[in-house]
Amino acid sequence: MLCVSGRVHPAAAHQAGAAGTMIMSCAGCDKPILDKFLLNVLERTWHAECVRCYDCHGNLTDKCFSREGKLFCRNDFFR
C-alpha cells in the first residue's frame, strides 16, 4: 500500500535581520533553520541535511517518499 510521495522543494530562507522575520524550525531536528537554503517537504520546512532517508540515511535531493512521518528514498520505500 503506497502512501504519500512528496517533492522536495528548495526554497531560499528569509533574510536574517529583516523586520518581521520569522525563524522556521526544522521538522527533522526541531532546531531553527538559519541556513541560506531550506527545503519544503510535506508542507513542512527542513534543513537540507535533515531530509534524509530514514533507512539508508542517503540525501533526498529530488523526490522523497513518506510513510508514518518518516522519509525514505525510492529504493527503501518500494522495498
Residue 33 CB, nearest approach to Zn ion (Å): 7
Under the criterion CB under 5 A, does residue 56 sit at the interface with Zn ion?
yes
**Angstrom distances, CA of residue 40 to CA of 1, 6, 19, 79:** 24, 9, 23, 25
The number of helices, as runs of H, and strands, as runs of E, in the chain is: 1, 6
Q: Which stretch binds Zn ion (CB under 5 A): 8-16, 35-43, 46-54, 62-70?
A: 46-54
Under the criterion CB under 5 A, does residue 52 sit at the interface with Zn ion?
no
Under the criterion CB under 5 A, does residue 73 sit at the interface with Zn ion?
yes
